[in-house]
Amino acid sequence: MKIGYTRVSTSQQQDSLKVQEQALKSYGCEKIFTDQISGVRTDRPGLEAALAYARENDSIVVTRLDRLGRSTVDVLRTVQELTSRGITIEALDTKLDTRAPVEAWRTLAPKGVLVAVLLSSPKTNSKQRCALSTTV
């Protein structure tokens, strides 16, 4: 099952919320969870509900990878948690799909695709960028 998750920070971003929801529906998400809450906050009831709802072989779908967390570390932590539960992640903006075979990830890793995605996130701070760039 494809489970969508959307987030906006303020009520003034309702247009963005509608765009996210439409993209997820068009992609085939059967259920969509939403938060209207600042990305700075660690408590996100919609995301928590989506993660609790997801079962093995389900996929959490977001329009942008940064919807999953405030920082690169948050996103990676969520990816790790879901992967350990047999749940995949898809980000529509980057075509990221963690269902890809390990071989595909190996071919992407040297090219820095995932790292580039994470580094380009506006939520990734300079300290995190330095840490990521030294691990590649």
In the block, residue with structure tokens 């071989």: 103
Task: Find, among 57, 41, 54, the residue nearest to 7 by Cα.
Answer: 41
How would DSSP label each residue in 22-78? HHHHHHT-SEEEEEES-TT-S--HHHHHHHHH--TT-EEEESSGGGG-SSHHHHHHH
Whether residue 133 lies in the annotated active site: no
Among 9, 11, 38, 59, which one carries the catalytic annotation? 9
Task: Find, among 64, 56, 66, 7, the residue nearest to 32 by Cα.
Answer: 7
Catalytic residue numbers, as ranges:
9
